[in-house]
Amino acid sequence: MEKHIIPQSKDNIKNIIIQNQQRFKELNIISRSVEIENNGNYVFVGLRRVGKTYLLYQIIKENVNNIEDVLFINFEDERLIGYGYQDLNLLLEAYSELYKKKPILFLDEIQNIENWEKFVRRLCDNDYKVFVSGSNAKMLSSDISTTLGGRLFIKTISPLSFLEFLKFNNLKLKQNFEYTDQLFLMKEHYAEYIKFGGLPEVVRFKNKREYLSNIYQKLLYGDLIARFNISNQMAVKLLVKKLAESVNNETSINRIKNIIKSANIQIGNNTLFEYISHLKSSFIIHDIQNYTNKIVDRELKKKYYFADTGLLSLFLIDQNSKLLENLVFLELKRRSQDDIFYYKRNIEVDFYVPNQGLMIQVSYDISDIETRKREFKALIKAMDAEGLDSAMIITYDYAEVVEIKGKKIEVIPAWKWMLNN
């Protein structure tokens, strides 16, 4: 049963508001590359620990001139335990008694308050500036857009890009760094980025794998099993494992179902579809379709990728090719959003972005003659079919430019491609 604020608790809110304001004065922020409209109100969603709260801090530091304008509340603050929807207006009352003006509201982890969206909708309707963030499990973007009716921009926050990862590691690359000692330091961070991913806090942990394992357990039990009332826990655990093992391969629901059944776990197609939908809406996985399939057939077979290579690496042993392809997908998604496909018609090309005429093959190492022949042959055939004159092969650390039959293929290391954005 929900508790309600007693009258003197307004002083508690005032204390929290002022303490947060003082803290922001002393906060040092490493800026991330996120575009914000000056007059926009925002809801930030995304994978657990992806940096949604940190982004609120950044907006405050970079866009608010007077810290007294800030009303920042983290609803996971233990001093707010028991606060409910009926109490939310006391935030405005407490602030008004302090400053006699309209605040800019930053409401963090607001999913802990039932019916929060009604309060936020009223704020927007009354011309308040509002920024909201919350855990992915209870703030799914489709739910929010329906309830708020377009009053706020919904922005999905991704893990750190490689350039951001370098900034968080205090490495600012100089011009022509490739010809200096910075190249070796950059490559050390590059190897770390592929293996441990781009969740912001992973930078400061020595035992990065343990940190990532803890995050995965919270995702599994908090954002999946608890939220969606999943009773067949063994099935969903095995599903995640098999999706990880299938990264860089086309797979189907029937294939996954048969693998799970071979472990003596019974599950139907509809349940599998539901579990995969839950994984996607919790921002744990993404999928792409085969561009060459008919639209009605595209749902039958897909390729799946994880939202962070660090999480993916928990399930893999020395699978560098899978991690590299997943890394390339994540960077493509930052640039191209949803217009990403793979291309499979007798031959297979890993990624195709038709709106940009961009075709990409990912190959960790093309020094093997047969591998090289296979990758180039597939690209040339797909380029012919789509009328393209150029394409790319992204490698771990090899570069060259090749011209075949009048077509240009750039072979480029992933680190260089990511930094060229």
In tens digits, what is the pLDDT along the chain, a chain of 421 residues? Answer: 444 444 448 999 999 999 999 999 888 899 998 888 888 999 998 898 999 999 999 999 999 999 999 999 999 899 998 888 889 999 999 999 999 999 999 999 888 888 899 999 999 999 999 999 987 656 765 677 777 888 899 888 999 999 999 999 999 999 999 999 999 999 999 999 999 999 999 999 999 999 999 999 999 998 889 888 999 999 999 999 999 999 999 999 999 999 999 999 999 999 999 999 999 988 999 999 999 888 878 888 999 999 999 999 999 988 899 999 999 999 999 998 779 999 999 999 999 999 999 999 999 999 999 999 999 999 999 999 999 999 999 999 999 999 998 999 999 999 999 999 7
Query: Would you kindly state where each structural domain of the chain is located, as residue ranges?
Result: 9-157, 163-195, 205-317
Helix (H, G, I), strand (E, B) or coil at 230: coil
Under CATH, to which class is 9-157 assigned?
alpha beta
Which residues lie below 8 Å from residue 36, measured CB to CB, with a gap of 6+? 42, 59, 63
pTM reported for the whole predicted model: 0.92
Asked whether this chain's domains 9-157 and 205-317 adopt the same fold, the reply is no
Q: How far apart are CA 365 and CA 107, in angstroms?
A: 47
What CATH fold (topology level) applies to the domain 205-317?
A: Arc Repressor Mutant, subunit A (1.10.10)
Strand 347-353 to 285-290 pairing:
unpaired
Q: How far apart are CA 107 and CA 264, in angstroms?
A: 46
What dihedral do alpha carbons 276, 337, 105, 144 form, nearest 10°? -40
CA distances from 182 to 166, 177, 193, 230, 352 (A): 11, 6, 16, 48, 33
